Amino acid sequence: DVVLTQTPSTLSATIGQSVSISCRSSQSLLDSAGNTYLYWYLQRPGQSPQLLIYLVSNLGSGVPNRFSGSGSGTDFTLKISGVEAEDLGVYYCMQATHAIFTFGSGTKLEIK
């Protein structure tokens, strides 16, 4: 099974600070057709997860452009360029390259 390891587990940031979250996969997420099915979600307190990034680097509908995704193979990064108060919550990466989906363990973003 594919294991996704997120670091750090907790992140504390001030408003306006830029932060990055890492997601490392135990197997390559590149499929035979050249696609990489890696996604990022944000779960705000008391809410359902919402899509931020799809296919490594594509912004979800309505997602502010301060969010960006990058990476390939087994190493992926979510970057927030200028944290805002509404960004607090838990960030999860998820892979769907392999038919058995898996989520990372999550990164909690706290606002100082």
Partner 1 sequence: QVTLKESGPGILQPSQTLSLTCTFSGFSLSTYGMGVGWIRQPSGKGLEWLANIWWDDDKYYNPSLKNRLTISKDTSNNQAFLKITNVDTADTATYYCARIGTTGGYVMDAWGQGASVTVSS
- Residue labelled with tokens 């970057």: 79
Kindly state the smallest distance separating residue 112's Cβ from partner 1, in Å.
22
The phi, psi pair for 6, rounded to 5°, reads -100, 140
Interface with partner 1 in residues 70-99 (CB under 8 A): 90, 92, 94, 96, 99
The interface with partner 1 within residues 47-66 (CB under 8 A) comprises 48-51, 54-55, 58, 60-61
Place of tokens 């197997």: 27
102 binds partner 1 (CB under 8 A): yes
Q: How far is CA 31 from CA 62, 74, 78, 96, in A?
A: 28, 12, 21, 10
First to last CA, the chain: 37
Q: Does 103 bind partner 1 (CB under 8 A)?
A: yes
DSSP symbol at 85: G
Q: Of 18 and 28, which has the nearer Cβ to partner 1?
A: 28
Please give the residue ranges that form the binding site for partner 1 (CB under 8 A).
1, 35, 37, 39, 41, 43, 48-51, 54-55, 58, 60-61, 90, 92, 94, 96, 99-106
